[in-house]
Amino acid sequence: MKFPQPHTLKQIAEIIGCSYVGADDFPVLGMNEIHVVNPGDIVFVDHPKYYGKALESAATIVLINKSVDCPEGKALLVSDDPFRDFNKLTDHFKPFIAAVAHISESAVIGKNTIVQPTAFIGHNVVIGNNCVIHANVSIYDDTSIGDNVTIHSGTVLGANAFYYKKRPEGFDRLLSGGRVVIENHVDIGAGCTIDRGVTADTTIQEGSKIDNQVQIGHDTVIGKNCLIASQVGIAGCTIIEDDVTIWGQVGITSGVTIGEKAVLSAKAGVSKSLEGGKHYFGIPADDFRTKYKEIASIRKIPEILERLKGNS
């Protein structure tokens, strides 16, 4: 998430009330999670296990809970609670603004686009030409939709990321300041939920088709011309490359990559990245040849046990 205008390190420190290491006028351009940071961004880290990863990332400002040696060319924001202060920054630069109409005055809707009654379109939403938005669709703030997109009833674009920190008093939610981006010629079925990015974009690329009742987590990127069948659940920060087919009730864990032209059969459980160009099934998902060998071996177990019993 880029700020509306550049800020200085001192200005950011004053917003969240923390100390800092670096020049007062050190430039701060935005804030992002570690997997999408760029120079000028703030990244937060609150566990020693991840200090190195944050300090060595592309981010040039590290919001951290301990004063450490600052790498050359970078700056530190030293906070007793980086998670809390990252939320403060999100709330400062991307505050929630209540709606006063079913279609916000700031929304931009293209030519020949049909918005059916009872659809909700939030602030700063952009919808392209020749789209159909069916009844009871909810499109939250800042969502971007291309041309020739169809979205069926009950679908929600832009709900909060499912991202929480466990505290003694309960779960603390990381605020979501990112977007949902739907490119051209995408179809989205009924009852789907596509969460906004925490600081960046959840993206459905051109030509992909999504069936009913599909959940797509924050910051996930679905490539071009993918087919995703009903009741698939895709966790956050997942990369689905182009021309992937995912059949019903597949579950995919966070932070993995599904390679180009992979096919995932129904009910597969994906717990690791999968190479493209292969067919997968099972829990945990594996390619057909490996999985069938595994099944064949399991079927031989009774025979092996009987043989061992006979030899005892």
Q: What is the pLDDT along the chain (312 residues), one digit of tens a residue?
A: 999 999 999 999 999 999 999 999 999 999 999 999 999 999 999 999 999 999 999 999 999 999 999 999 999 999 999 999 999 999 999 999 999 999 999 999 999 999 999 999 999 999 999 999 999 999 999 999 999 999 999 999 999 999 999 999 999 999 999 999 999 999 999 999 999 999 999 999 999 999 999 999 999 999 999 999 999 999 999 999 999 999 999 999 999 999 999 999 999 999 999 999 999 999 999 898 888 888 888 888 888 777 787 776
Bond prior to 95 in cis (omega within 30° of 0):
no
Active site residue 218: yes
pTM across the whole model: 0.92
Cβ pair 59, 32 in contact under 8 A: yes
- CA-CA distance, 190 to 7, in Å (whole number)? 42
3-state secondary structure 106-130: CCEECCCCEECCCCEECCCCEECCC
User: What are phi and psi for residue 278, nearest 5 degrees?
Assistant: -125, 165
Tens-place pLDDT, residues 13-50: 999 999 999 999 999 999 999 999 999 999 999 999 99
Q: pLDDT per residue over 157-188, tens digit each?
A: 999 999 999 999 999 999 999 999 999 999 99
Burial category of 240 from C-beta neighbours within 10 Å (exposed 0-12, middle 13-18, buried 19 and up): buried
Distances (CA, A) of 223 to 170, 201, 203, 215, 255: 36, 13, 8, 16, 15
Asked if 12 and 75 count as a contact pair (C-beta separation under 8 A), the reply is no
* Domains defined for the chain, CATH in brackets: 2-93 (3.40.1390.10), 108-291 (2.160.10.10)
Q: Taking the chain, what is the end-to-end CA distance rounded to the nearest angstrom?
A: 69
Report how far residue 64's alpha carbon sits from residue 45's, in angstroms, rounded to the nearest whole number. 5
Catalytic-labelled residue, pool 35, 47, 218, 279 = 218
Amino acid at 130: N
